[in-house]
Structure 1
Amino acid sequence: MNYVKNLKTYLPFATNTFQRLISYKANVLIFIFGESLMLAVTYYLWKAIYGSSTGASIHGFSFNEMIIYLFISFLTNLMISVDIGSDISREVKDGSIAINLIRPISYEKRMLFQGLGTIFYNFIFIFIGTFLITTTMFYRFFGYISIVNILFYFISMILGILLNFYFNYIFGLLSFKITNMWGLSQITQAIVQLLSGIMIPIVFFPVWAQPLFKFLPFSSMIYTPTMIYLGKLNDFEILKALTVQGIWIIILILIAKIMWKKLIKTLTILGG
């Protein structure tokens, strides 16, 4: 009963976000065009790299595997993208957080369901079609499709969504103390893009740095699901990777709750 009550309370936040996004259909076309252009540039970059290589594979990746990696990492990044941090920062700057805090609902759950609205929108209008095309490409390249790997990919991606949400939520809570988050946001985004393996697999980094990068939560957001999809991890490695994701989620939840209790007491409301 409590679950149903929570769903009725917070589901409208997801629905409102979905309806707001769907009202701007041109944004999808612009987004697809921009990302397609980026993927095209990256494709020709890797094509040039493999063309100048003497071997058929680099760090265990063939050219076809790298192409699939780029597509799946792009889709995974799309699905986990819950930009809650900027939403919280905006509410703090314009003062609307004052009204939201006095509502008899959990601020954390509200932001989570807002993020789910964005995820659901991306899933319907971008992910499904592109994922089917990518999986078809995978079959044409390698002659098989692993349903088990796809299943574990989705499980890992869901964990990646929670990881990215709580990371962004924690980052957003910093705006309770730091008024202008723009500079810090740009630095953080650059670090996350580098360490999450969006464009460059972690195995391409120096050997001494790989254990550190794999330990940090960023690789669990994108690199782990993508490697599972490609079949680069065996059963034990998949179980280990999912466990690492689960542990980081618990750690980030605890950090978020501690930060909330500390920062909410000293929050200064700006704006009207």
Structure 2
Amino acid sequence: MKLYLAFLTNEFQSNLAYKTDVLLKMFGRVMGLFVQIALWTALYGTTSGTAATGMGQISLNDMINYVVISTCISVFVSNNTIFSIGDKIRSGDIGLQLMKPISLQTCMLFQSMGTSASRIFFELAPLIVVAAIFYPLTVPPVHLLLPFAVALLNGFVLNFLLAYILGMVGFWYINIYHLSRLLSDVIKVFSGVWIPLWFFPQILTDVSAFLPFRLIYFSPISIYMGKTEWTDTLLLIAQQFMWIGILLLVAELVWRKGISKLVIQGG
């Protein structure tokens, strides 16, 4: 465990090496937040201040809180796993990884945690302060904080596993960087990161129910905002654990196939 914690610490420190890049990312997050809220404010300006959806009435204040929480979650869960695995495979460093008595998956998970930790301090914290100054944010009841925290951590793991599995496609294809964009676009459509599933047509809502993407953003946000009943909250968390189990199994299968191909190619 100490070895993996060292990976976390090193990743945390390396993310602080380029201070200008950190400041630009923080500025970009804040500007993106303002733009999204301005857009929803303009859309709600043509209504009575609420919108009727298949999940009930959603007010402008609900949407402001949704955008803020969604932006904060994106800071926490996003990672560079696809690029990291792609670089290791393309450069041949993956062979050295096989010689080490550590798990690549666990190593990269802790590296992602280190990246997220740095973002919490230097992107997420300023973002929350700015949002609290300019917008009426709602703090959830105490009894929702624990299930929200569990759902948020599960969302982080789900997003990591999806990126990890796609990254291992590099065993078969040299250039996999477009897969990062593919995963990002699919998540944006089906996770509710930009447009909540409240506003989705029924057919897309039904499709998203069979996919893990909504469990990364929409489900934790719904729990935070008290938009789910207690039984539904427990069901959502159970679904997260189920998908984590499925993706762990898929990751193990892809890893074994990829290593087999690597060994064959290496002679």
Question: Is TM more than 0.5 here?
Answer: yes
After TM superposition, list the pairs within 5 Å mapping 1:230-269 onto structure 2.
Answer: 230-267=225-262
Among candidates 182, 193, 203, match of residue 177 of structure 2: 182
Among candidates 14, 36, 57, match of residue 20 of structure 1: 14
State the superposition RMSD in angstroms.
2.2
Quickly say closer, same or farther: Cα 1:101–1:127, change in 2 above 3 A. Answer: same
Deviations 1:249-268 (A, max 9, x none): 00000000111111111027
Among candidates 141, 160, 177, match of residue 155 of structure 2: 160
Count of residue correspondences? 262
* In 2: Cα distance, 1:78 partner to 1:166 partner: 17
* In 2: Cα distance, 1:175 partner to 1:112 partner: 18
Letter in structure 2 aligned against 1:220: L
* In 1: Cα distance, 2:45 partner to 2:127 partner: 26
* In 2: Cα distance, 1:43 partner to 1:105 partner: 44
Letter in structure 2 aligned against 1:106: S
CA contact (8 A) 1:92 1:269 kept: no
Among candidates 80, 85, 94, match of residue 83 of structure 1: 80
Q: Which moved more, 1:241-250 or 1:97-106?
A: 97-106
Deviations 1:85-134 (A, max 9, x none): 11000111122222222212111111111111111111222334544665
Q: Which moved more, 1:144-153 or 1:101-110?
A: 144-153
* Unmatched tracts of structure 2, length 5 or more: none
2:166 is equivalent to residue 171 of structure 1: yes
2:27 is equivalent to residue 33 of structure 1: yes
Shift of 1:136: 8.1
Letter in structure 1 aligned against 2:16: I
CA contact (8 A) 2:30 2:127 kept: no
Quickly say closer, same or farther: Cα 1:93–1:177, change in 2 above 3 A. Answer: same
State the TM-score, normalizing by the size of structure 2. Answer: 0.90
After TM superposition, list the pairs within 5 Å mapping 1:215-226 onto structure 2.
Answer: 215-226=210-221
Quickly say closer, same or farther: Cα 1:235–1:131, change in 2 above 3 A. Answer: farther
* In 2: Cα distance, 1:64 partner to 1:183 partner: 36
Quickly say closer, same or farther: Cα 1:93–1:141, change in 2 above 3 A. Answer: closer
Moved over 6 A (4+): 135-138
* In 2: Cα distance, 1:136 partner to 1:58 partner: 28
2:176 is equivalent to residue 197 of structure 1: no
Shift of 1:29: 1.3
* In 1: Cα distance, 2:241 partner to 2:132 partner: 27
2:105 is equivalent to residue 111 of structure 1: no
Q: Which moved more, 1:113-122 or 1:128-137?
A: 128-137
Quickly say closer, same or farther: Cα 1:157–1:56, change in 2 above 3 A. Answer: same
Shift of 1:25: 2.0
Letter in structure 2 aligned against 1:65: D
Q: Which moved more, 1:192-201 or 1:46-55?
A: 46-55
State the TM-score, normalizing by the size of structure 1. Answer: 0.89
Shift of 1:188: 2.4
More relative contact order in 1 or in 2 (CA 8 Å, sep 6+)? Answer: 1
2:98 is equivalent to residue 98 of structure 1: no
2:71 is equivalent to residue 74 of structure 1: yes
* In 2: Cα distance, 1:218 partner to 1:9 partner: 31
2:43 is equivalent to residue 49 of structure 1: yes
- Aligned with 1:233: secondary structure? coil
Deviations 1:139-181 (A, max 9, x none): x566x64122222211110011111111111011111111111
* In 2: Cα distance, 1:224 partner to 1:16 partner: 32
* In 2: Cα distance, 1:111 partner to 1:258 partner: 17
The sequence identity of aligned pairs, in percent, is 32
- Aligned with 1:208: secondary structure? helix
* In 1: Cα distance, 2:209 partner to 2:263 partner: 37
- Aligned with 2:88: secondary structure? helix
